[in-house]
Amino acid sequence: MTGMLNKKDLAQYRALLVEYQWRLRGDVQHLTDGALDPGHESKSPTHMAELGTETFDQDLTLGVMERDQELLGEVSAAIKRVDAGAYGQCERCLADGKAPSKCWIPKLRLKAIPWARNCVECERKRERSYSH
**Res 27: pLDDT:** 73
CB 87 within 8 A of CB 81: yes
Task: Dump pLDDT digits (tens) for 61-120.
Answer: 677 778 989 999 999 999 999 999 999 999 999 999 999 999 999 999 999 999 999 999
pLDDT tens column, 19-31: 999 999 887 777 7
pLDDT at site 2: 44
**CATH code of the domain containing 31:** 1.20.120.910
**Rounded Cα distance, 66 and 68, in Å:** 5
The per-residue pLDDT for 52 is 67
Does residue 50 form part of some domain?
A: yes
Is residue 2 a part of any domain in this protein?
no
Number of separate domains in the chain = 1
Asked if residue 99 lies in contact with residue 4, where contact means CB atoms within 8 angstroms, the answer is: no
Q: Where are the beta strands (DSSP E) in the chain?
A: none
Single out the residue of 114, 112, 105 nearest to residue 76, CA to CA: 114
Which residue range(s) make up the domain with 87?
7-131
pLDDT of residue 20: 94
Domain assignment present for residue 1? The answer is no
Residue 41, pLDDT > 60, answer no
What is the b/e burial string over 50-62, where b = at least 16 CB atoms within 10 angstroms of the residue's CB?
Answer: eeeeeeeeeeeee
